[in-house]
Structure 1
């Protein structure tokens, strides 16, 4: 299926033309037929001669009071049939429709001059072609027709066939984003929505995201027939499970689960309106039109200098599922004018707090292409979740460094490694008795969102001088202790070589400069073993003790153990308690001990 929007004229000639082409009535409301004016979106379809694939028409209102409805219809549609009446020619609403199509970047279509039986259509045709040539549509083929006499209808069908065959092929594997343009209920079926599927494929049973909730497709129709699946491009009606009519409407979007980011703050590039040499001075409040949605937005220019294009930050009244490269338009509803086309550049922009941050951001965006690209997104953000990058529409290369669901810009890792070495060295200098920089503190120092990313940093050659142990980072060759402490500990261990259980008294430790912090650092570094308050032995003391106690009859008393160990009660009591906590001895009801 191919889809074309009919735009450009205010009166009933446009609908009459669609009726003549399709044999269907696009005006759904009796009020439209009574007034001879399209006031809401109409839909019809037909099969053109020589084509197996049908073409659908979205008939949009022309009157200025219904511009929002018009924009909802043309937003998702790739081509237009621009209609001008021979007896009235180019009109103000024609210009506004063309401004909208130009801002949205629509490039395919044809001009149709209706009511050609009433007057010579050449003047209206030539005038319209001049206006169209100044827009994104450029030089279009033109056909003069009369829906009353049938003049030119065969030629129109042939031109329509040529235009729709030349449209770009849709991406059938793309993530779905269906902008809803109509919602209603069907007795026995429930909620039904319609829209133009511009890319992707939908199947019965698919789960789609509607904002933060999930809905299920229970049935589908395209052009009045039940289908499964439905592939882009298509006019489609979805019967949904899990949502009421009061919970969905025009402007909502149904999207592939987990593949779209909803954002209420976006950075965009705004181009000039049609025929403008410079960008207009944007008001502070505008309407953003994208797909079938119309959302109020607050404008913050990022660069003060006017120009043909300018970078702008938009704060939306409600979040929308957007991606870099999306096209939209800004409109001033009070002045009834299109302000310019919009290209979305960033849907996760950084917060701007410091003086000059907005200008710097404008400079950064100056080179943005508005095309989802993994390398450029990572280079700009440095680190981001894999799911977020996929939701931006980018393909994740297989060689991107990743950990715990995060991706890191490869060029940034080397810089991070150097910063980490500096942070660990600074911590060692400030806290010489500490066993190393805690991993969480290291992650904060590097502005990493997850400490598990440190493994990627440590794998860099620039971080080869670091070692990670016990949740801390320290220099590989530092030994873990300052020189003075290491010397004092060596003295203690030398004293213990002859009598391994003659734990030094408090005055001896103080004499060596080993106070509470120094002793704690020595224990963390594995240089001493603490078996009780104030009792410090060599690291292998527990093994040596078990070896000596193995020579005693089992069970044995505290006194027997003290004698076997060659120590005092001051050391023997906490040592046996330590061995019991380690599961290496047990104590019976009579207070005697035995090895396990």
Structure 2
């Protein structure tokens, strides 16, 4: 199927044209017939030789309903732009043309209607000039009369040629269907309609409804395409979806149905503005504008970054990807301000002076085409899942992951890896110089020092930059230390050798506080020796040789199957100060167990 919107004209000349093409009535309300103008979105369809089914979204033309017009035109790939021969180019024609140009809708057909009332040549020439001024001058033109049928065959041929040139949608793409109408059907429940641009929906499918209240899971109970029930619908298509268990008040125009977990929830976005027939003008005020994306119309705050780059903060999160086109409009002035292309749906915070201008420089080369390598280069590190959600094709992400450092679902830019490793080298050197007894820094501190988003990236950054070279930082036991680190300072190692001599003679006679003080071994020195594997500390001030547990088990074997604490203390030749924590350690390690009588047994 192909879907076109009919825009440009304000009264029934446009609706009469749609009726003549399709045999259907696009205006659904009696008020529309009474006033002779379209007030809401209308829908009709027909079958043409060649393209087959072609659907039309008939949008209102009056300036009071431009927001509704944009809701209908936003998700549609092509337009029939209607100008009446007897009225010519009108103010609403200009705003409709501005909106279509701003939205990036480049495929269209100029239709001069009411050709039976006046020679269409003047209206056609004026309209072509106006469209050309907005970058739409390549659209072919056809003159018709919906009342007499004159030119309808030529129009059908032109429509067939138009849709033949439209880009082919991807049936496997992630679903995003903007809702343009929601209502209740007795016996079925809530039904929503919209233009499915790409992807496929089918009965029983699980989707997410993205709206003002956040995202909720929904199930497709039934699918209709052009009024007929179908099992599956593939974009581009006009579809109606019956959603199971969804109250009507939970959905409204501007919401979107999405493949679960496939789309970002954008709270801020950096975008490039596009002028209409000239350079883009950055808005003077940060407020008062409306962002039109798909069928959504959301108030938005605008922060200028550079000449044509701004940061947008919509009033509610929106499912937008890199390359999405949208429209900025000033509803108070009834004026389309600019079109825009999304460059970054998850931009970094701007905290320092001059950050906005630097950010504009970073985005100067951004094209709005999803690019895995470009995103990684700009960000330094990025999740693979985020790249796919932002619109980068999965195979491109996989190919990049095969070329760069990866960890825990993250990709790390090689240049950023080198910078991180250098920062870690400096941080470890500074820490060790300030505190030789505590070599290296914990991983969490290392992550912050390197400016990395995840601790898993610390090790891969070091591996990529230094490949574990001697003397360089490495990850060991949850810390970043120097690969050639010899442990505690020489004076502490000398004291440890004297302590080793004492304990070799009496393995379980832990030195008391006076002896430790005489050796210059305080709590921090003992902790450093324990990290280096020189000592085993049973408590902060009770230290033995590292093999003391094994020696103790050999001694205790001679006490029989069960023994008391007192017997163990005497056999080991030590005090309760040492025997109690030593037996507790043996129990924790599974070497002994306690009996119901309170004695100990070797395993």
- More moved, 469-478 vs 348-357: 469-478
1:289 maps to 292
- 1:553 CA displacement: 5.3
Q: CA separation in 2, counterparts of 1:278 and 1:380?
A: 24
Within 5 A, what are the aligned runs for 1:242-321?
Answer: 242-274=245-277, 276-277=278-279, 279=281, 281-284=283-286, 285-303=288-306, 310-321=308-319
1:230 aligns with 2:233: yes
1:144–1:592 distance in 2 versus 1, CA, 3 Å: closer
Within 5 A, what are the aligned runs for 1:53-452?
Answer: 53-211=52-210, 212-274=215-277, 276-277=278-279, 279=281, 281-284=283-286, 285-303=288-306, 310-394=308-392, 395=394, 396-397=397-398, 398-399=401-402, 400-434=404-438, 436-452=440-456
Q: CA separation in 1, counterparts of 2:596 and 2:14?
A: 102
**SS of the residue 1:490 aligns to:** helix
- 1:125 CA displacement: 1.3
Q: CA separation in 2, counterparts of 1:249 and 1:172?
A: 26
1:520 is matched with which residue: 516, 522, 527? 527
- More moved, 490-499 vs 572-581: 572-581
Structure 1, residues 390-439: CA drift from partner, whole Å, max 9, x if none? Answer: 21011322414333333332332222222223222322222322264222
- More moved, 277-286 vs 122-131: 277-286
**SS of the residue 1:318 aligns to:** coil
**SS of the residue 2:183 aligns to:** strand
1:346–1:195 distance in 2 versus 1, CA, 3 Å: same
Q: CA separation in 2, counterparts of 1:593 and 1:430?
A: 46
Q: CA separation in 2, counterparts of 1:261 and 1:533?
A: 51
Q: CA separation in 1, counterparts of 2:545 and 2:273?
A: 72
**SS of the residue 1:54 aligns to:** strand
**SS of the residue 2:317 aligns to:** strand
1:20 maps to 20
- More moved, 511-520 vs 95-104: 511-520
- More moved, 532-541 vs 14-23: 532-541
Q: CA separation in 1, counterparts of 2:467 and 2:304?
A: 42
- 1:186 CA displacement: 0.8
Q: Is the 8 A contact 1:418 1:463 kept in 2?
A: no
How does the TM-score come out when normalised to structure 1? 0.93
How does the TM-score come out when normalised to structure 2? 0.92
1:115–1:492 distance in 2 versus 1, CA, 3 Å: same
Q: CA separation in 1, counterparts of 2:521 and 2:268?
A: 57
1:550 aligns with 2:557: yes
Q: CA separation in 2, counterparts of 1:553 and 1:148?
A: 112
1:541 maps to 548
Q: Structure 1: give runs of 5+ residues left out of the alignment.
A: none
**SS of the residue 1:300 aligns to:** strand
Q: Is the 8 A contact 1:210 1:254 kept in 2?
A: yes
1:592–1:8 distance in 2 versus 1, CA, 3 Å: closer
**SS of the residue 1:263 aligns to:** coil
1:41–1:498 distance in 2 versus 1, CA, 3 Å: same
- 1:460 CA displacement: 2.6
- 1:60 CA displacement: 0.9
- 1:369 CA displacement: 0.8
Q: CA separation in 1, counterparts of 2:139 and 2:566?
A: 108
Q: Is the 8 A contact 1:13 1:114 kept in 2?
A: yes
Q: CA separation in 2, counterparts of 1:234 and 1:487?
A: 81
Q: CA separation in 1, counterparts of 2:320 and 2:70?
A: 17
1:497 aligns with 2:495: no
- 1:590 CA displacement: 8.4
Structure 1, residues 300-342: CA drift from partner, whole Å, max 9, x if none? Answer: 1113xxx5xx111112111111111111111111111111111
**SS of the residue 1:260 aligns to:** coil
Q: Is the 8 A contact 2:431 2:439 kept in 1?
A: no
1:453 maps to 457
Q: CA separation in 2, counterparts of 1:47 and 1:559?
A: 98
- 1:574 CA displacement: 5.5
Aligned residues: 589
- 1:59 CA displacement: 0.9
Q: CA separation in 2, counterparts of 1:200 and 1:483?
A: 68
1:29–1:494 distance in 2 versus 1, CA, 3 Å: same
Q: Is the 8 A contact 2:265 2:317 kept in 1?
A: yes
Q: CA separation in 1, counterparts of 2:555 and 2:166?
A: 89
